[in-house]
Amino acid sequence: MKKIAVSAALLFGVLGLAGCTGVPVAAPETGEASPNAVEVKNVPAETGAPVVDIPAAKAAAIESGRPEAAWDKNCVAWEMPEADTKGQAWANEMGVAWLDSLDAGCPDAITFPDYYVDSWEPGAPGELTLIVDSAINKIEFSGESGNLNRVAFDFICELYRDKPELSKVVAATDDGKWKETVTRKDLEDREARGFMDLASDADCRI
């Protein structure tokens, strides 16, 4: 799929990790990459933005303990899917709303397991598919359900109130082998059983 670069504001505006409003899950890492470890080269004034040495940034992040599949915490390399169809433009709108709700500039700036999301694409009307790095299956999550289900749940729960048109989220690995689905009805059923309050962001948890 062709992609276009996200705006500088989206790429560089958020440098810290942001978590889902659900139960915090510790990321499987041993440290944080130092922004000072990345060489930033100045470019001519007419371009305005610095050029980041991507290989050096990735190497520094991995050396610090970031997973290779989620190294881009500072959002220097991630690109928004190109909105070349009406459906993809809608999917991008949902993706940006999700990132904004977490004060994140890209998926890697979120916590485990959501930082394994690579991209998104539209399905049937009201349905969104998250493309997730298959490395997510190498990490054991001790929650109520598996990693992919958690990713789909986190996404639709974050947008439940603001994006009622989003009816279903599918989290699928990029190798096509695994997928999990969470719908608005799943959330409402969970609320009916007394497990969550959809009026509260703090209850986006499983």
Structure tokens at 144: 């109520």
Single-letter amino acid, residue 62:
I
The answer to whether 27 and 136 are in contact (CB under 8 A) is: no
The answer to whether 204 and 157 are in contact (CB under 8 A) is: yes
Q: What is the pLDDT of residue 146?
A: 84
Q: What is the pLDDT of residue 145?
A: 60
pLDDT band with cut points at 50, 70 and 90 for residue 205: low
The answer to whether 150 and 158 are in contact (CB under 8 A) is: no
Model pTM above 0.85: no
Q: Which residue has the higher pLDDT, 22 or 159?
A: 159
pLDDT band with cut points at 50, 70 and 90 for residue 200: confident
Instruction: Give the sign of the dihedral formed by CA 113, CA 131, CA 61, CA 109.
Output: negative
Rounded CA-CA distance 82/101 in Å is 21
Q: Would the pLDDT of 130 be above 80?
A: yes
pLDDT band with cut points at 50, 70 and 90 for residue 137: confident
Single-letter amino acid, residue 145:
S
Q: Would the pLDDT of 125 be above 70?
A: yes
What confidence tens digit (pLDDT) does each residue in 52-92 have? 899 999 999 999 999 999 999 999 999 999 999 999 999 99
Q: What is the pLDDT of residue 96?
A: 98
Which range has the top average pLDDT, 13-27, 39-53, 97-111, 190-204?
A: 97-111
Rounded CA-CA distance 169/128 in Å is 5
The answer to whether 155 and 98 are in contact (CB under 8 A) is: yes
What confidence tens digit (pLDDT) does each residue in 6-55 have? 443 443 343 333 343 343 344 444 444 444 444 444 444 455 556 889 99
DSSP 110: B
